[in-house]
């Protein structure tokens, strides 16, 4: 318990707003699924990243401004500057574990980050296919640290925060959402590179995913803006 408390304290003092712990058994018990976004692969198990893994530290960082929603496209690749910032913050907790001679791997990306966040108690899986926290709503982004340290798991988040609300489904400009699922072949973020020069998409992109510079774009957050959770923390009230 003392080690768990110190890991959480280090993470929270290093920039994270949310932190939870899960056992590797809990995420490895989740059936694998196809990731149809940029990676185009099936999810993996914790043992694919480390021998004898025990715990995962799940970190949430508040996306408190549009600057966190910028994507930069160059040479057929996409960079997300906010994620570089989060990785730097997460490395401070990683280095703390390593200083105690534990193994640690940052952001094992083919473990389901959203499912890990729900299992770690950070929030519920929303109808917009994002994790929704009671305080920050869908306005936070995830990082994680896989380690062989034996940490005390948190309780999963079991409440369904969406209830009967379907504002996000109705707000999506391209109909990419069905309850708790997003179609990557419709979502503007998923298909942007293939439609950005298509004249018929110009109006919807100008409104929901505008260019900032020649190579940067503000990612669509329309389904997040209508969510009733996290509006005050995001300055939307």
What CATH code is carried by the domain that includes residue 61? 3.40.109
Q: Which domain holds residue 190?
A: 167-234
pLDDT at residue 34, as a whole number: 78
29 and 60 housed in the same domain? yes
Evaluate whether residue 49 is within a structural domain: yes
Rounded CA gap, 228 and 237, in Å?
Answer: 10
- Inter-residue contact 153 to 144 (CB < 8 Å): no
pLDDT over threshold 80, residue 235: yes
pLDDT at 41: 84
Same domain assignment for residues 99 and 40: yes
* Two tokens, residue 85: 């910032």
Task: Output DSSP code: residue 180.
Answer: T
Helix axes 2-13, 81-99, angle to 10 degrees: 150
Q: Is there a single domain that holds both residue 196 and residue 115?
A: no
pTM of the model: 0.94
Nearest to 62 by CA among 45, 47, 82: 82
CA nearest to 135, candidates 157, 164, 103: 157
The average pLDDT across 179-194 equals 93
pLDDT confidence of residue 204:
97
Q: Do 98 and 42 share a structural domain?
A: yes
Same domain? 14 vs 58: yes
- Residues 38 and 132 occupy one common structural domain: yes
Residue 187 shares a structural domain with residue 125: no
Mean pLDDT of 10-35: 94
39 in the same domain as 92: yes
Look at residue 171 and tell me whether its pLDDT is greater than 90: yes
Q: Is residue 17 a part of any domain in this protein?
A: yes
Quote the mean pLDDT of the chain. Answer: 95
Supply the pLDDT for residue 64. Answer: 95
Domains held by the chain: number: 2
Q: Residues 67-77: pLDDT tens digits?
A: 999 999 888 78
- Do 112 and 176 sit in the same domain of this protein? no
Residues in the chain: 237
pLDDT greater than 90 at residue 172: yes
Across 121-228, the runs of DSSP E, i.e. the strands, are 124-125, 131-132, 140-147, 177-178, 181-182, 216-218
- 39 is a domain residue: yes
37-65 confidence digits (pLDDT tens): 667 788 899 999 999 999 999 999 999 99
- 219 with 138, same domain: the answer is no
């Amino acid at each position: 318990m003392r080690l768990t408390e110190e890991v959480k304290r280090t993470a929270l003092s290093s920039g994270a707003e949310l932190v939870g712990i899960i056992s590797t058994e809990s995420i490895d018990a989740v059936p694998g699924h196809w990731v149809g976004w940029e990676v185009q692969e099936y999810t993996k198990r914790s043992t694919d990243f480390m021998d004898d893994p025990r715990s995962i530290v799940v970190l949430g960082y508040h996306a408190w401004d549009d600057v966190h929603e910028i994507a930069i496209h160059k040479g057929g690749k996409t960079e997300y500057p906010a994620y570089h910032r989060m990785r730097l913050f997460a490395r401070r907790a990683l280095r703390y574990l390593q200083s105690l001679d534990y193994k640690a791997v940052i952001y094992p990306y083919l473990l389901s980050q959203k499912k890990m966040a729900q299992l770690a108690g950070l929030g519920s899986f929303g109808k917009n296919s994002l994790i929704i926290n009671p305080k920050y709503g869908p306005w936070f982004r995830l990082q994680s640290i896989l380690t062989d340290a034996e940490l005390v798991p948190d309780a999963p988040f079991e409440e369904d925060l969406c209830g009967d609300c379907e504002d996000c489904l109705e707000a999506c400009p391209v109909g990419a959402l069905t309850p708790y699922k997003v179609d990557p072949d419709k979502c503007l973020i998923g298909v942007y590179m293939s439609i950005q020069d298509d004249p018929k998409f110009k109006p919807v992109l100008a409104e929901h995913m505008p260019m900032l510079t020649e190579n940067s774009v503000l990612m669509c957050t329309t389904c997040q803006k209508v969510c009733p959770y996290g509006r005050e923390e995001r300055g939307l009230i």
